[in-house]
């Protein structure tokens, strides 16, 4: 397959999408990190305030190392913020902190897509680690020529990889909803001015593109391997 030009087109397109989305979020975060918010609160402060506003008392807010390593851990009910968010008093920090609180609110309210995504994680991990290799093995065994068992093995591999693709797709509404909740929380809580909340919105919109890129890349790979397995292309 490594001699197939379409393989490199798909891989290259996925890499470009990923690189472009990553560069966009980093540059947008850096830009709005320069604008200090008038409230004087840090990202950790605003996270705790929004949690309290929503009656969530059992979620801890912790500092973690790394750049943009922010995430909400639903298993331990911990909201982990990177140093660039936890300690900072700027639009970018407010947007990211509020977004992660959005996930905590989803968890507290039983938001269905989040529950589905969490339940899907084991399948997604198996699919992303094994799916393509199983399809590749089946092709080597002759699946593209219509051989029975190899073709069935290939379908299994394709199904496994499809599980990983489904995960990237269900992640989209989860992330978009968390960002929507973040903006509403910042506005309703009076933590930002109109200008500040727009800066936070732009940071979150840029971050959302990383999830869109991941979904697009996964879909392209799934279609590529499906075309090989089903014999719709010449090898």
Find all residues with CB under 8 Å of 87, minimum gap 6, and list them. 42, 43, 44, 63
Confidence of residue 193 (pLDDT cuts 50, 70, 90): very high
Using the CB atoms, write b or e for 42-53: b if 16+ within 10 Å.
bbbbbbbbbbee
What confidence score (pLDDT) does residue 137 get? 83
DSSP conformational letter for 71: E
- The answer to the question of residue 45 being in a domain is no
Find all residues with CB under 8 Å of 8, minimum gap 6, and list them. none
3-state secondary structure of 64: strand
Q: Is 147's pLDDT higher than 90?
A: no
- The answer to the question of residue 83 being in a domain is no
Number of independent structural domains in the chain? 1
- The answer to the question of residue 52 being in a domain is no
- The answer to the question of residue 78 being in a domain is no
Average pLDDT taken over every residue of the chain: 91
For the beta sheet containing 78-82, the strands, ordered from the edge strand earlier in sequence to the opposite edge, are: 60-64, 78-82, 71-73
For residue range 59-106, list pLDDT tens digits in order. Answer: 999 999 998 899 999 999 999 999 999 999 999 999 999 999 999 999
- The answer to the question of residue 191 being in a domain is yes
Confidence of residue 234 (pLDDT cuts 50, 70, 90): very low
Catalytic, out of 100, 175, 187, 198: 100
Distance CA 79, CA 62 (A): 6
Confidence of residue 188 (pLDDT cuts 50, 70, 90): very high
Is 100 an active-site residue? yes
- The answer to the question of residue 77 being in a domain is no
3-state secondary structure of 82: strand
- The answer to the question of residue 146 being in a domain is yes
Q: Is 3's pLDDT higher than 80?
A: no
Confidence of residue 5 (pLDDT cuts 50, 70, 90): confident
> Domain range spanning residue 118?
5-36+90-229
Q: Is 41's pLDDT higher than 80?
A: yes
Q: Rounded to 5 degrees, what are φ and ψ at 144? A: -65, -15
- The answer to the question of residue 74 being in a domain is no
């Amino acid at each position: 397959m490594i001699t197939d030009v379409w393989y490199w087109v798909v891989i290259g397109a996925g890499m470009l999408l990923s690189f472009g989305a990553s560069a966009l979020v980093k540059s947008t975060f850096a830009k709005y990190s320069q604008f200090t918010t008038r409230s004087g609160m840090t990202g950790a402060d605003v996270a705790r305030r929004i949690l309290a506003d929503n009656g969530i008392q059992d979620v801890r807010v912790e500092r973690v190392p790394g750049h943009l390593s922010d995430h909400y851990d639903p298993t331990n009910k911990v909201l982990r913020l990177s140093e660039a968010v936890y300690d900072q008093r700027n639009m970018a920090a407010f947007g990211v902190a509020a977004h992660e609180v959005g996930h905590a609110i989803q968890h507290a309210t039983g938001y269905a897509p989040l529950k589905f995504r969490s339940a899907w994680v084991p399948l997604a991990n198996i699919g992303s680690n094994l799916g393509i290799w199983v399809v590749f093995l089946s092709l080597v065994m002759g699946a593209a020529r219509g051989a029975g068992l190899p073709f069935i093995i290939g379908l299994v591999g394709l199904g496994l990889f499809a599980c990983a693709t489904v995960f990237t797709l269900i992640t989209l509404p989860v992330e978009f909803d968390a960002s929507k909740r973040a903006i509403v929380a910042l506005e309703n809580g009076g933590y930002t001015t109109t200008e500040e909340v727009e800066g936070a919105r732009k940071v979150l919109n840029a971050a959302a593109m990383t999830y869109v890129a991941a979904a697009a890349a996964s879909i392209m790979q799934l279609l590529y391997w499906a075309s090989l397995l089903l014999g719709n292309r010449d090898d």
